[in-house]
Amino acid sequence: MMRNIKIGLAGFGTVGRGTWELLERNKEKVQRSAKTKISVVGIADPDKKKFDGVQINSECEIYSDAFELLKNESIEIVVELIGGETLAKEFVLAAIRERKFVVTANKALLAKHGKEISTLAEENGVEVFYEAAIAGGIPIVKIINEGLAANEILWISGIINGTTNYILSEMDKRGLAFDEALDEAKSQGYAEQDPTLDVDGHDSAHKIFLLASLAFGINFEFNAVPTRGIRGIDVKDVSFAREFGYQIKLLAFARVENSAIEVSVEPTLIPANILMANVDGPMNAVSVEGNFVGHTLYYGQGAGSHPTASAVVADIIEVCGSFFRNNGQGAGKFNTGKRNHEYANHKMTKKEEVMSGHYIRLKVSDKPGVLSEVTGVLASKNVSINRFFQKNSENSDAEIIVLTHRCNYGKIIECLNMLKNLEDVKGDPVIFRVEEKA
């Protein structure tokens, strides 16, 4: 007789409802894939209005308190879609203590408290699955864990926040100012009314931290990840980047270089003719380079009820497989850090040590000799110029835009400090990272 694995959903918001709908609509397909019967026997959400118009079968109990859900001893898998860190953390830890497998889409929770959760899961012989926490419908966790399991991962980069990609796309295509593009993203439902997590880069930082943990087994603290968002990017820089043949994208990086691991998020110029530069609107893409497979790129929807629900249910199916592989017992792992233990003692690359090209825009007095002063400062620090041009600005000012060859960021900061002290340089220089691949 086919086993019946019972599930509890904690949180019935957009993703929670999408998960329930997918399990109902594709029940036969899901159960064939899982090789077992799957039943949702409990759903918890304090807002009863979320259940209006939803036909929940009589076998499924509705709870207003997620912790009441855990008292149902028949539930073997809980899906945490509460969001946030405080209540969600308490719930996940309580579920693990009850020896229930956990599926979550909560990237912030795992990025900040993953070690504690991992340790407790191992002690209780269960696992935590989190495919839905990174890049929505792109199965990047399984790609790294399974599809690229034979490779040493050398490089990961990605557009992993749809809100910021939509904003930058509209600034590029239509010449919108940042605030205009943000307002449009809100009206289209791509940005929250408080977009801080997205536009300031924190959402991308959570995701790349999890990917770096997975690929490299890092032992860093999340707060050590250098993070810069797109807030206040000037549309003129988007335009100038295009003149150089580049696009500006908010990129997240995780890479091994010189016995150190870089994990960071920042706006970056990349060549307009590469695939990553043509990821448009609210879409996501993740690039992974392995030492044998070379460069690979994965593209898809990064958010929304259906793509995220698809990843949640894929993890539910994976948990069911884990029961059969381990006779009902978990493998004792929160999946981060299981691939490459040789990297566990690598240091984290400091921001000033990161090697890349750089885009620099300076507002200067429009008079002879200023350009030679600027290039002289760069030369004094052995910073090589790749290309540059000068644009007339308002009044008697001009703008000098420079692309440098690769050098460490620390040198650039030294140069900028010197440039700001020049009499004919006005205001703070604008600087962005430049990469030739992504």
Tell me which residues are annotated as active site. Answer: 207
> Alpha helices, DSSP H only, in 35-102?
66-69, 86-97
Residue 213, φ and ψ in degrees, nearest 5: -60, -40
| Nearest alpha carbon to residue 276 among 436, 96, 93 | 436
| Nearest alpha carbon to residue 252 among 215, 219, 293, 217 | 215
Amino acid at 78: V
Cα dist from 273 to 245, 247, 287, whole Å: 8, 9, 15
Residue 93 and residue 99 in contact, taking contact as beta carbons nearer than 8 Å: no
36: left (phi over 0), alpha (psi -120 to 50) or beta: beta
Taking the C-alpha atoms of residue 37 and residue 30, their distance in angstroms, rounded to an integer, is: 9
- The string of DSSP letters for 14-28 reads HHHHHHHHHHHHTHH
Specify which residues 102 forms β-bridges with: 78, 128
Here the tokens at position 59 are 């076998």
Cα 263 from chain centroid (whole Å): 11
Taking the C-alpha atoms of residue 113 and residue 87, their distance in angstroms, rounded to an integer, is: 13
Taking the C-alpha atoms of residue 275 and residue 287, their distance in angstroms, rounded to an integer, is: 10
Q: What share of residues in the chain are helix, strand, coil (percent, to 5)?
A: 40, 30, 30
Taking the C-alpha atoms of residue 189 and residue 167, their distance in angstroms, rounded to an integer, is: 12
